């Protein structure tokens, strides 16, 4: 699509007389153009004297923004600058993000967002999104009606209990929905006015936060049980009533609630859990792509997980679905997945196992540590989702390389400080033979005259695209099979060049093209399975593109 067509696509038919005028439009992030307001717009909208004389192009504004960001000394300062830009000029914010995605994604999301959440009460500037708390019981519908953008199509909600690998950050977890929804727009083109971040504030068990005088959440320990469930049920029902057809993503809930809420609402609400299903999709995509390097079959793989929480179980479930698709019976497929948690190997002989671990508690002698589990089980792939840094030791990685010519090692815990090992360690300890991916980005590694480029198993390859496919097709539900379809679609878009570099995910700069294809595959499934009442478009891929936002200024005159 040409620039002229994009401008026409963004054109508004609003009469200038109906728009905010003067400083009001300058304070409206959706409509503000800053120094890019034309001479005619300045005249019509009462902006004379409120802006410097020169009219700048959007490209010139982008240059100024990039220069300012690159002068900041810390990533947190860069994050704050970008948030301030988002608060005053959303179109310019997304142009900067989309045109510089490899540089900007680590700033607006992991790893920087983790630090931002830890400091959220201290760096708080301007509210974004909505806060639903225990104080709002009985009036959540009324609260949601205060949201100014009635066309909201997607909500990302967190209760802040398990933020990345950082634990309970209470209301500070609001940085996660804000960041996730920025990726929905930047990576998949969902219009920012259709995105609603929500903090579901039921308290925190973080004593440091409770004792902090500037903490901006409710000051009590976390609600549990009936009190929690009643409030969440009210929220879900209110969201569906106020925003018909809304897609809800639950994010960074603790294990206690995540599996339970997903199972409770998934069949009657357009809802999914990215930590479970999105992580499953992106990791399985990496495993499928890895087989193009190793030459093996999916059914020949044995995967050992360090960490048996939402992410690990989610990956295993998608992996099992992939094996079943190839004709492997479910029970046999589950025996391809093994888990080590904080107490050792998850096996049938252990007592007091959490319900979500039981399907993967196989008959085996108990092993109390990861190193012995690796040597005994001899997995083809080792996946870390423990939130415990440096747990893939030299001994463990070298053991993986003893019985695998190309060991698959995914250190997926976020942020970077929580990774089970670094890319350099994985490559060095295996003499460059490891197929490595991580949750947060690592720089390329030079080893033995070659440059190895680690893949980033970032959920941003999956959840924005699935969301776009669901929204465009108006699917009533989000299913596990959609995430498996997304995994296959993502793996198929890894190029031979990517694989030669050791990268099992597409280059991040291609993420919008990759997302469009995944979204089309997800939408196709929604039409094929009858999950939507929307008539099937003649060209699903074109329909997906028609839904995608482009950061181009509208014309007001």
Task: Collect all residues with Cβ–Cβ distance below 8 Å to 249 and sequence separation of at least 6.
Answer: 154, 155, 156, 157, 180, 271, 272, 273, 274, 463, 467
Using alpha carbons, list the distances in angstroms from residue 16 to 47, 52, 54, 59, 557.
12, 21, 21, 24, 7
Helix (H, G, I), strand (E, B) or coil at 311: helix
- Placement of tokens 């878009």 in the chain: 493
User: In the chain, how long is the greatest CA-to-CA distance?
Assistant: 79
Rounded CA-CA distance 209/215 in Å is 6
- Do 515 and 392 fall within a single domain? no
- Do 167 and 81 fall within a single domain? no
**Helix (H) / strand (E) containing 445:** strand 445-447
- Do 300 and 402 fall within a single domain? yes
Q: Is residue 468 part of a domain?
A: no
Counting as low any pLDDT under 50, the low residues of the chain are: 1-13
* CATH at 445: 3.40.50.720
Q: Exposed (0-12), middle (13-18) or buried (19+): which is 99, by Cβ within 10 Å?
A: middle
Rounded CA-CA distance 231/132 in Å is 9
What pLDDT shows up at residue 17? 74
Helix (H, G, I), strand (E, B) or coil at 113: helix
Q: Which of 33, 78, 115, 180 is catalytic?
A: 180
Helix (H, G, I), strand (E, B) or coil at 54: coil
Q: Which of 109, 228, 265, 505 is catalytic?
A: 109
DSSP assignment of 7-44 equals HHHH-----GGGS--THHHHT-TTT--GGG--HHHHHH
Task: Collect all residues with Cβ–Cβ distance below 8 Å to 404 and sequence separation of at least 6.
Answer: 380
* CATH at 139: 3.40.50.10380
Q: Is residue 408 part of a domain?
A: yes
* Of residues 257, 281, 269, 83, the one with CA closest to residue 174: 83
- Do 73 and 219 fall within a single domain? no
DSSP assignment of 271-307 equals EEEIIIIIHHHHHHHHHHHHHHHH---GGG--EEEE-
Q: Which two tokens stand for residue 211?
A: 């004792």
Q: Tell which of 82, 106, 130 closes a domain.
A: 106
Identify whether 109 is a catalytic site residue.
Answer: yes
Please say whether the beta carbons of 394 and 425 come within 8 A.
yes
Q: Is residue 553 part of a domain?
A: no
Q: Is residue 302 part of a domain?
A: yes
* Of residues 456, 460, 448, the one with CA closest to residue 502: 456
- Do 353 and 437 fall within a single domain? yes
Q: Is residue 467 part of a domain?
A: no
Identify whether 180 is a catalytic site residue.
Answer: yes
- Chain centroid to Cα 453, Å, comes to 22
Q: What angle do CA 272, 273, 279 make, to 5 degrees?
A: 120
The whole-model pTM stands at: 0.94
DSSP assignment of 208-272 equals HHHT-TT--S-SSPPP-HHHHHHHHHHHHHHHHHHSTT-EEEE-S--HHHHHHHHHHHTTTSSEE
Rounded CA-CA distance 128/122 in Å is 15
Q: Which domain holds residue 38?
A: 3-106
DSSP type of residue 105: H
Please say whether the beta carbons of 132 and 201 come within 8 A.
yes
What pLDDT shows up at residue 204? 98
- Do 151 and 243 fall within a single domain? yes
- Do 174 and 93 fall within a single domain? no
Where b means 16+ CB within 10 Å and e means fewer, 322-341 reads bbeeeebeeeebbebbbbbb
Where b means 16+ CB within 10 Å and e means fewer, 76-87 reads bebbbbbbebbb
> How many domains does the chain contain in total?
4
Asked if the bond preceding 523 is cis, omega within 30° of 0, the reply is: no
| Length of the chain in terms of residues written | 557
Q: What is the dihedral of CA 351, 355, 358, 360, to 10 degrees?
A: -130
pLDDT tens per residue, range 238-265: 999 999 999 999 999 998 899 999 999 9
Rounded CA-CA distance 19/41 in Å is 11
End-to-end CA distance of the chain: 23
Rounded CA-CA distance 249/232 in Å is 13
Half-sphere exposure of 14 (CA within 13 A, CB side): 16
Task: Collect all residues with Cβ–Cβ distance below 8 Å to 383 and sequence separation of at least 6.
Answer: 283, 303, 304, 305, 306, 312, 315, 410, 412
Q: Exposed (0-12), middle (13-18) or buried (19+): which is 405, by Cβ within 10 Å?
A: exposed
- Do 392 and 518 fall within a single domain? no
Q: Is residue 44 part of a domain?
A: yes
What pLDDT shows up at residue 11? 41
Q: Tell which of 206, 235, 269 closes a domain.
A: 269
- Do 23 and 146 fall within a single domain? no
* Of residues 459, 477, 526, the one with CA closest to residue 265: 477
- Do 298 and 419 fall within a single domain? yes
What pLDDT shows up at residue 14? 62
* CATH at 69: 1.20.1370.30
Q: Is residue 554 part of a domain?
A: no
pLDDT tens per residue, range 95-125: 999 999 999 999 999 899 999 999 999 999 9
Q: Is residue 463 part of a domain?
A: no
- Do 223 and 252 fall within a single domain? yes
- Do 40 and 60 fall within a single domain? yes
Q: Tell which of 429, 458, 487 closes a domain.
A: 458
């Amino acid at each position: 699509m040409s620039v002229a067509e994009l401008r026409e696509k963004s054109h508004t038919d609003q009469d200038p007389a109906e728009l905010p005028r003067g400083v009001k439009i300058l304070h409206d992030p959706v409509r503000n153009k800053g120094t890019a307001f034309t001479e005619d717009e300045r005249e019509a909208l009462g902006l004379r004297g409120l802006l410097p004389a020169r009219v700048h192009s959007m490209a010139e504004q982008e240059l100024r923004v990039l220069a300012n960001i690159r002068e900041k000394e810390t990533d947190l300062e860069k994050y704050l600058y970008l948030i301030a830009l988002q608060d005053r000029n959303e179109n310019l914010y997304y142009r900067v993000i989309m045109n510089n995605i490899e540089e900007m994604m680590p700033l607006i999301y992991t790893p920087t967002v983790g630090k931002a959440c830890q400091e959220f009460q201290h760096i708080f500037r301007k509210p974004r999104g909505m806060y639903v708390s225990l104080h709002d019981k009985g009036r959540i519908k009324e609260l949601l009606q205060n949201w100014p953008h009635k066309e909201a199509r997607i909500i990302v909600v967190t209760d802040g209990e398990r933020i990345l690998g950082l634990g309970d950050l209470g209301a500070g977890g609001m940085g996660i929905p804000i960041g996730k929804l920025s990726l929905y727009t930047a990576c998949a083109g969902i219009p920012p006015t259709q995105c609603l971040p929500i903090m579901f504030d039921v308290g925190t068990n973080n004593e440091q936060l409770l004792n902090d005088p500037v903490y901006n959440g409710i000051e009590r320990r976390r609600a549990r049980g009936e009190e929690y469930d009643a409030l969440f049920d009210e929220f879900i029902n209110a969201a569906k009533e106020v925003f018909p057809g809304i897609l809800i993503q639950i994010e960074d809930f603790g294990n206690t609630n995540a599996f339970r809420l997903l199972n409770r609402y998934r069949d009657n609400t357009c809802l999914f859990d990215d930590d479970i299903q999105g992580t499953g999709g992106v990791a399985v995509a990496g495993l499928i792509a890895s087989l193009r390097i190793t030459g093996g079959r999916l059914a020949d793989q044995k995967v050992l997980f360090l960490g048996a929480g939402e992410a690990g179980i989610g990956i295993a479930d998608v992996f099992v679905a992939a094996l079943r698709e190839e004709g492997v019976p479910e029970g046999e497929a589950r025996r391809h997945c093994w888990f080590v948690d904080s107490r050792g190997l998850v096996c049938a002989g252990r007592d007091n196992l959490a319900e979500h671990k039981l399907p993967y508690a196989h008959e085996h002698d108990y092993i109390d540590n990861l190193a012995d589990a690796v040597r005994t089980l001899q997995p083809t792939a080792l996946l870390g989702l423990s939130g415990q840094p440096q747990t893939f030791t030299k001994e463990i990685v070298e053991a993986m390389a003893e019985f695998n010519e190309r060991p698959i090692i995914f250190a997926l815990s976020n942020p970077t400080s929580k990774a089970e090992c670094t890319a350099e360690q994985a490559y060095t300890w295996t003499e460059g033979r490891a197929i490595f991916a991580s949750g947060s980005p690592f720089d390329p590694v030079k080893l033995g005259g070659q440059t190895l480029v680690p893949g980033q198993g970032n959920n941003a390859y999956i959840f924005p695209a699935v969301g776009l496919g669901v929204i465009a097709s108006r699917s009533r539900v989000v299913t596990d099979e959609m995430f498996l379809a997304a995994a296959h679609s993502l793996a198929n878009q890894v190029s031979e060049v990517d694989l030669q570099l050791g990268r099992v995910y597409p280059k991040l700069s291609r993420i919008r093209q990759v997302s469009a294809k995944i979204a089309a595959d997800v939408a196709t499934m929604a039409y094929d399975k009858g999950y939507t009442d929307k008539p099937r478009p003649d060209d699903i891929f074109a329909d997906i593109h028609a839904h995608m936002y482009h950061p181009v200024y509208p014309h007001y005159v």
